[in-house]
Chain A
Amino acid sequence: MTEAVIETEGLTRRLAGEVTVTLVEDASLAVHPGEFVAIAGASGSGKSSLLYLLGLLDRPTSGRIWLQGDETSTLEEDALAGLRLGGVGFVFQFHFLLPEFSALENVMLPMQRLGRLTSPEVAARAAELLGSLGLTGEAKKLPRQLSGGQSQRVAIARALANDPLLILADEPTGNLDTAASANVQRILMDLARDYDRAVVVVTHDRDFAAAADHVIVMSDGRIRGE
């Protein structure tokens, strides 16, 4: 089997305080290229916390994470940011597009920060990504001029901008109507199946979870079953 895009071992995250809160406990998993994994569970079960750990946005209290074979536990914040920039794409429940930037500019941002492409190349790729998600006519529009479904597709285009192997989505359809939700679901699944990306989605939607290659069920911060 190919090397896992992301792999964890005994991942635990606790919040220190008067009463220590355990968000994630002893989570071990591996996601390979082309896999579509859903994380399901009740509210407060630790789904999003696990996703933030997988995306290197949060640091585990204990346990280890390998991203494309590289151990990340000992890396500095800047190095983690570098890994996120080129290796991880995030999609959130609320699209979280930057409101002052057009759809095209939002998609261009990660590429501009990475600096691998020239400005015309960045603009061309951003337009191509938007086009592939059916947003050719919306490129110049500001987020407030887009519908919820359109905004979420722009957010997906932004997540794909630097061609990451790992896509992490936190309730990407939670704020969309049925049609838009189905569209976003199809796009994410296509990314795994047609483009060999590792896609991890946190969802409450049972149908969405049922369509995944693997479902990780969480409860009280622990993985209860797959």
Chain B
Amino acid sequence: MIGLMPGIALKHLLARRRQSLVSLSGIVLGVAFFLAVSSLMQGSENDFIRRLVDNSPHITIQDEFRNPRLQPVEELYSSGAIEVRRVKPLTETRGIRSYPQILEGLRTQPALRASPVLAGQALVSFAGKDIAVSLNGMIPAEVNDVSTIQNYMIAGSVDALTANPDGIILGDALARKLSLALGENVTVTAPTGEVHTFKILGLFHTGRADYDNTQTFADLKRVQALLKRLNRANTIIMKLDDPHQAHALADGIERRFGYKSVSWQEANEDLMSTLTTRNIIMYTVVSAVLIVAAFGIYNVISTVVLEKQRDIAILKSMGFRARDIRRIFLIQGVLLGFAGSALGLPFGAGLMLGLMQIRLKFPGSSDPVPLPIDWNWPQFAIATAFAMGAALCAGLLPARKAASLHPVDILRGAQ
């Protein structure tokens, strides 16, 4: 059974059906558009992050240190006021020392897959054309554990490198520039002067022009020999079952092994902050719709307060307290907000379904794909919370005014 105050509030709203319906429509539209836009924006953000997470290592150990190494005197007198000047780092061969031991240590952790990479610059030559590329030496059997490059193969496969260590995988854009095709041989020259001929075993297309033009993949041992860095790797890349653990895990790895360890979140900090800015803009814009709708509610409740001054005085003379009166008018706001949400959510879901029918061809995808829509409950909860909050705020001022009315002033006027 409906309570006393909600009952009075409902009667007030039903007595002004047309105005109540108009303000209700505002909330319904506001909730629906809020939901549709925010779920589209959230969906695109999720899609973007998923691509980011899928296409980049979750953690990368680099062959460098985040801070310069401490000098022995600084370690000895850690609390002393020491200033060491003109320190010249030792000349040493770049690369991660004892990377097989580090890998062994990493692989003891569950839900983590790691593989070494030796990346260096090289020149790919064919038919008189030379193009500088980044040559990535990887262990072919482990590539699919730590990289999604296989998903972008348009010819051949990464596995072919296992059978033929003298193979290479190129981006299709690079192959086009050099007029190369699958199965043809290409000459790769390292900065060391070493030259090796590789057979093209695969072509990939990621849709990112820079990547497709410059990245190449070959067997780790061959690349180590070509770059004259035997038994060296300059990067260890990792994938995690839960990418969101990357930040914490990277810190632990860096503390344990000393080498700079970068999570995908750190590597893409600028993009993540851009997404935050984009979300603020989006929520500001879609909230404006609900704020406008809230003015409709304010208008209706204010009118009811104005019209019901005599009833307010009577209720107070009966013994209703000021807070009872405030509750009656706040409940009107809540009722409109609740009804608006209840109708707006299915309407918004309909809009979301409509948006999903729109298909666009994104770079890197061979077929048109539907707009990414986030159907998770937080979108619905946020839209409802915004609507209820806006409705409650809209009811607050008139409710306070109603509660503060002095019954005697009204009763005198009424007579």
Chain A residues close to B by CB (< 8 Å): 48, 52, 55, 57-58, 77-78, 81-86, 88, 90, 92-94, 96, 98-101, 109-110, 112-114, 119, 158, 162, 170-171
Contacts and interface: CB of A to CB of B under 8 A. Distances in A.
How many B residues touch the partner, as a band? Answer: 20 to 34
Contact of A109 (B318, B321, B411, B412): B318
Contact of B4 (A81, A94, A109, A158): A109
A88 B14 CA distance: 31
Contact of B414 (A82, A96, A113): A96
Given A52-B411, A57-B408, A98-B311, A90 B318 contact: yes
Given A57-B408, A113-B324, A48 B415 contact: yes
Interface string B18-45: 0000000000000000000000000000
A89 to B, nearest CB: 9
A113 B408 contact: no
Given A84-B319, A86-B319, A110-B318, A58 B12 contact: no
B316 A57 contact: yes
Interface of B: 1, 4, 8, 11-12, 14-15, 310-311, 313-324, 407-408, 411-412, 414-415
A128 B12 CA distance: 27
Contact of A57 (B12, B14, B321, B407): B407
Contacts of A86: 319
Contacts of B316: 57, 81
B1 A119 contact: yes
Given A52-B411, A98-B314, A81 B11 contact: no
Contact of A84 (B317, B322, B323, B415): B317
Contacts of A78: 321-323
Nearest to A168: B317
Contacts of A100: 11-12, 14-15
Contacts of B8: 98
Contact of B408 (A52, A88, A98, A99): A52
Contacts of B321: 77-78, 81-82
Contact of A77 (B311, B318, B322): B322
A93 B311 CA distance: 14
A78 B323 CA distance: 9
5 contacts: A81-B316, A82-B319, A84-B319, A110-B318, A162-B319
A204 to B, nearest CB: 12
A39 to B, nearest CB: 15
Nearest to A77: B322
Contacts of A85: 318-320
Contacts of B320: 81, 85, 113
Given A98-B311, A119-B1, A93 B415 contact: yes
A54 B195 CA distance: 109
A112 B250 CA distance: 64
Contacts of B4: 109, 112-113
Contacts of A88: 319
Nearest to A101: B11
Contacts of B311: 96, 98-99
Looking at B4, B318, B324, B415, the one whose CB has the most chain A CB atoms below 10 A away is B318
Nearest to B5: A113
Looking at B15, B311, B321, the one whose CB has the most chain A CB atoms below 10 A away is B321
A176 B311 CA distance: 21
A93 B412 CA distance: 11
Given A58-B408, A92-B415, A98-B11, 17 more contacts: A57-B317, A81-B320, A83-B319, A85-B319, A85-B320, A90-B317, A90-B318, A94-B414, A96-B311, A99-B15, A109-B4, A109-B315, A112-B4, A113-B318, A113-B319, A113-B324, A114-B319
